Structure 1
């Protein structure tokens, strides 16, 4: 599928990954509608920071995926839907599990139902590596069992299964992309990499983190956005669940060391009990097998961890106004 000229909707377009994907779709010549969550301030999230040329190239719709009538109205006439809208913060899912069910499971179902009602040509549903839980074997391929180790991951498992059911029950053209640990410019401090960087750049000599021993398969956001594009373009991805990862694992502790080297300031790490997940909920190891996405598309990660971290540090340094390093953001 050639996305040039296609009527494309991105849900969650105001967010971290969604905003990068929206910009990339504009570059490719797609006719982009950006769905942002309705709010009385008319705040469009990261879309408000777009260059005027990009902003003038998209249509912005406000709505809520938890509301089916709105999804039918917004999705009518769209040819491709990238569904990224979700509640994603793991710590907050411990505080409000039902919010995750309503947004991630029920909201996804509304998007899928609206896509079915209006014969959308391709739907790319967003999963997460958190659905795998702690690795039972590595690298993690798409056949790895799913484990609901947090209310967030359980809600995403539910959303993934709804997507699978719509493909199997209604023969809908759905592909599920499962990104591993995306990071980069615009990511909020609820995630570990911007938490580390923003605390150091704020001048702190001691930074607070959770556990340093878990491993992650970190992926730069521009690589993740490109994975969405490649999965959409390939007809071979329909009905498939597909990892997007680097096939490289690194501990949180070693990630801290890389960031310290880039910034050039030594700091002391404080283990903050508030930031540690419950024992049975912690995902101790994530390492992606990316064989399948390479077989089905021509995608491969372009950014090394060092290149991606350097670009992220530079961006956060210029945009510290978006961060509150003294507050633990769940």
Structure 2
């Protein structure tokens, strides 16, 4: 029996690297596309998602059984607001149009959205049925992507995932936990942060990609699924964990520019639907993830 073939967009990125390894370890033939050339990788193609004809050519060449669409501009503070819409919305539309025209029958198309679509003003545990309330261009682009994807659901077996915060070795220091880890690793004297008394849901990238793999295997076409730990930690807790692991203390300076107006104190996701779909699945304790990140070489 031939290996199932998967095409991952954004395969060279943080999540894509871990997902490729997870799928290869579980019997998938992994192909990928991205924005940077890599001629040494024979199963990789450098493609701009905004160039529809090039994208169609790659899809026709690979003839995947499944697709995971990770390629996106994900840093909320990215300086070019237009880029969110070009890449996250129009790039996704080009991909879906290419997939709808492929001769090979697809088993699953997994689209990575974001828990940012819920906004940051709804307190408590968020299920997939909570109203969408995006608060920045990144989140609006993801909401637009989700609604646009609905136009293709009769033609394609689409599953939308809404991951909450997740982290791990290799994530950019533009993101909060890698920034904190980097300061402890270099034993910095101080760090500038926002509100330390906000509680958020953090997952480990290794658990996230396991969830993505299982969703590819169970193929719940039409579903929208939170991917989250269901556990919350405050930033103050994160700092204490990092201090304990590293045996280093640093001074925290509260920068008013990093404090969001009307930000809710506690925000987490419900993973009930995910667990109903994929069965037994868990996220390592955050302290274990931080220990892994702080010990990385």
Same-fold status (TM-score > 0.5): yes
Q: CA RMSD in A?
A: 2.0
1:286 aligns to what SS in structure 2?
Answer: strand
Question: In structure 2, what is the Cα distance between the partners aligned to 1:7 and 1:254?
Answer: 42
Q: 1:117 aligns with which of 87, 101, 116?
A: 101
Q: Verify the 8 A CA contact 1:13 1:34 in the aligned structure 2.
A: yes
Where structure 1 has 5 or more consecutive residues not aligned to the other structure, the ranges are: 45-54, 319-330
| Counterpart for residue 290 of structure 2 | 309
Q: Flag the 1:200–1:241 CA change in 2: closer, same or farther, 3 A.
A: same
Structure 2 residue 226 is the aligned partner of structure 1 residue 228: no
Q: Verify the 8 A CA contact 1:129 1:286 in the aligned structure 2.
A: no
Instruction: State the 4+ residue runs in structure 1 displaced beyond 3 angstroms.
Output: 273-277, 282-285
Q: 1:83 aligns with which of 46, 64, 69?
A: 69
Question: In structure 2, what is the Cα distance between the partners aligned to 1:115 and 1:171?
Answer: 9
Q: Flag the 1:283–1:79 CA change in 2: closer, same or farther, 3 A.
A: farther
Give TM-score scaled by structure 2 length. Answer: 0.93
Cα distance, 1:274 vs structure 2: 4.2
Structure 2 residue 117 is the aligned partner of structure 1 residue 131: yes
Higher helix proportion (structure 1 or 2): 1
Question: In structure 1, what is the Cα distance between the partners aligned to 2:123 and 2:191?
Answer: 32
- Deviations along 1:18-40, one digit per CA (max 9) or x if unpaired, are 110011111112111121213xx
1:261 aligns to what SS in structure 2?
Answer: helix
Question: In structure 2, what is the Cα distance between the partners aligned to 1:283 and 1:71?
Answer: 41
| Counterpart for residue 149 of structure 1 | 135
Question: In structure 1, what is the Cα distance between the partners aligned to 2:232 and 2:121?
Answer: 12
Q: Verify the 8 A CA contact 2:181 2:290 in the aligned structure 1.
A: no
1:91 aligns to what SS in structure 2?
Answer: coil
Give TM-score scaled by structure 1 length. Answer: 0.84
Mapping for residues 1-330 of structure 1, pairs under 5 Å: 5-38=3-36, 42=37, 59-76=43-60, 77-92=63-78, 95-118=79-102, 119-134=105-120, 136-167=122-153, 170-235=154-219, 237-277=220-260, 279=261, 285-315=266-296, 318=297
Q: Verify the 8 A CA contact 1:134 1:285 in the aligned structure 2.
A: no
Instruction: Report how many aligned residue pairs link the two structures.
Output: 293
Question: In structure 1, what is the Cα distance between the partners aligned to 2:126 and 2:187?
Answer: 38
Question: In structure 2, what is the Cα distance between the partners aligned to 1:97 and 1:126?
Answer: 19
Q: Flag the 1:224–1:117 CA change in 2: closer, same or farther, 3 A.
A: same
Question: In structure 2, what is the Cα distance between the partners aligned to 1:283 and 1:191?
Answer: 19
Where structure 2 has 5 or more consecutive residues not aligned to the other structure, the ranges are: none
